[in-house]
Structure 1
Amino acid sequence: MPGKRDGTRRKGREGRVGPAAAAGGVLNAVVIFGTSEARKIVDRLESAGVRTWVAVASEAGLVAPNAERVVQAAPERAWWESWLAGQDIRVLVDASHPSGSALSEAACEACEAKGIPLLRFYRPEVNLPQNPLIHAVADIKEAAAVAAALGDTIFLTTGSGALDVFLAQPAVKGKRVVVRVLPQARFISRCQELGVLPRDIVGLQGPFSVRFNQAIFAAYGAQVVVTREGGRSSGTLSKIKAALNLRVPVVIIRRPADTRFKPEQICCTPRQVVEKVLAASHA
């Protein structure tokens, strides 16, 4: 796969025999990484005898998962079709962030075209506190408009993916936008290309505690914080609590509706994922 690094690692698990192997043959699955629960999903699948590939979006992700087989994937359907052609993948588990990504969309399209079963792991949604400082919005454009009305220094914690859309909104012109992204050259360069000043680029990798978030928000003089609803076990609540402790309003982008998956394809726990993967092997 040109242009992408195959980070395969082996840790002596090849002799492990689980339900999938015991049932006859080896079941191959691929998990799209992007949540902390993805680690548990991979470990449980391997324990059940499922040979599991982990697909990550960046070079940083190559060292993050505790897995034997890790591949840096491209957010392109053609790349996925090419990679899948060389693997005997029987099921794909999308365990990426609840807001989704171009990578997961491309992977799902390729799998659907090849008739490979899909499962989607979703964290339970965050129960937002009742507070007048919390403003829930539908998308990044609305987030920009609402945030601009709430303060002149906007601390954006949604990464660089939709940064161009956020900065293009007329309401944020003249506002100071501080952006927190992963400390990788391509993400920092992306911010600079879009006109974010070096002083306003915060290159850090979480997870972050309430105390840490509070210190960062205060240090940059945040007058409003923008985040996504990432699920109960994500860093969403930490950011909300930190902002509220500072009496700073929070704009939260709601989880988008995903019509690609039927109810029977959705899992809310790592255990459910394993059960459905094993069931798919007998389908």
Structure 2
Amino acid sequence: MIGLILGTSEGKKIVSLLNEFTDDIFISTATHYGGQLLEKYKYKKLNTRPLDLEGIIKVIEDNEINILVDASHPYALEVTENAMEACRVCNIEYIRYERPSVSSKYKEYEKLIEVEEYEDIYEKLKNVEGNILNTTGSRNLKKILNLNLTNRIIHRVLPSLKVMNECFKAGIDIEDVIAIKGPISYELNCSFIREYNAKVIMMKDSGVQGGTEEKLKAAVDLGIYAVIIKRKTIKYDNVFCNEEDIVFHVKENI
């Protein structure tokens, strides 16, 4: 059986391409919503809850998975590390699907700020005046709030009840929340920046599919600071940046 850990929009295309020759697939997503997005595709089993290391090992063993494709989000570092270790323990092939980075195209932009950790943001922005548009996601709200920046920060997050509750529990005012499902177009990014008079936009390098390009273009064209939390570097034995290539490899090796 083929195992898939999916956390990006490209997961649907990977499953669709695999379905051209098999449905002997186990799929794991971190949320019920992620599973709902795959309802029209063919697979044998679907898990819609987060798996730790022991959970991934059990899934591999119980379903006799012999090849595992990790297409989790570029910033889901713990998931990837657990998947790699589980494959090592179970002695099966691990394959990584990695979204290509887009930030390198904007290296020459004078207001581009890249940081390794969220804690590094304070030193970069402590003397920058004006509002900040935070698009790093609800899971990182505390990291942003703990910076104790004096700037007004507007948080763009998913429009779910769970996320809204997280925002309000964190003490974020309702006027500082934009609830909308991404990815967001270039035009809408520009509109949000203008509407909130943002002088900084914070983001992760989530690739073209994650809307990073549209954010960077908007920042450049409107002349504001773009803060990017860089990806962690992981060494992979098998890594692909194209859905067709990874499915071809799977087909040739199952």
Q: TM-score range by the shorter chain?
A: 0.7 to 0.9
Contact 1:32-1:104 within 8 A present in 2 as well: no
Q: Secondary structure at the match of 1:89?
A: coil
How big is the alpha-carbon RMSD for the aligned residues of Structure 1 and Structure 2? 2.2
Q: Secondary structure at the match of 1:227?
A: strand
Percent of aligned pairs sharing the same letter:
27
| Deviation by residue 1:194-251 (Cα, 9 ceiling, x = unmatched) | 3322222222111211001111222222220001112244311101112223222111
Contact 2:61-2:90 within 8 A present in 1 as well: no
Tell me which of 115, 137, 140 is aligned to 2:118.
140
Contact 1:45-1:51 within 8 A present in 2 as well: no
TM-score under structure 1 length normalisation: 0.78
What amino acid sits opposite 1:244 in the alignment?
Answer: V
Residue 239 (str. 1) matches residue 204 (str. 2)? no
Q: Secondary structure at the match of 2:19?
A: helix
Residue 223 (str. 1) matches residue 199 (str. 2)? yes
Q: CA deviation at 1:186?
A: 2.1
Bigger drift between 103-112 and 247-256 goes to 103-112
What amino acid sits opposite 2:165 in the alignment?
Answer: S
Tell me which of 24, 31, 34 is aligned to 2:4.
31
Tell me which of 88, 91, 103 is aligned to 2:67.
91
Runs of 4+ aligned structure 1 residues displaced above 4 Å come to: none
Matches of 1:200 and 1:161, distance apart in 2: 16
Q: Which position in structure 2 is the counterpart of 1:10?
A: none
Residue 270 (str. 1) matches residue 243 (str. 2)? yes
Q: Which position in structure 1 is the counterpart of 2:98?
A: 122
Matches of 2:164 and 2:84, distance apart in 1: 28
Q: 1:274 to 1:164 in 2, by over 3 A?
A: same
Q: Which position in structure 2 is the counterpart of 1:200?
A: 176
Matches of 2:51 and 2:151, distance apart in 1: 31
Contact 1:32-1:93 within 8 A present in 2 as well: yes
Residue 49 (str. 1) matches residue 22 (str. 2)? yes
Matches of 1:192 and 1:91, distance apart in 2: 42
For structure 1, the residue ranges without an aligned partner over 5 or more in a row are: 1-27
Q: Secondary structure at the match of 1:183?
A: coil
Matches of 1:184 and 1:83, distance apart in 2: 29
For structure 2, the residue ranges without an aligned partner over 5 or more in a row are: none
| Deviation by residue 1:40-75 (Cα, 9 ceiling, x = unmatched) | 211111213252233222222122235334421314
Bigger drift between 235-244 and 132-141 goes to 132-141
Matches of 2:125 and 2:186, distance apart in 1: 21
What amino acid sits opposite 1:277 in the alignment?
Answer: V
Contact 2:23-2:42 within 8 A present in 1 as well: no
Q: Secondary structure at the match of 2:216?
A: helix
How many residues align? The count is 249
Q: Secondary structure at the match of 2:47?
A: strand
TM-score under structure 2 length normalisation: 0.87
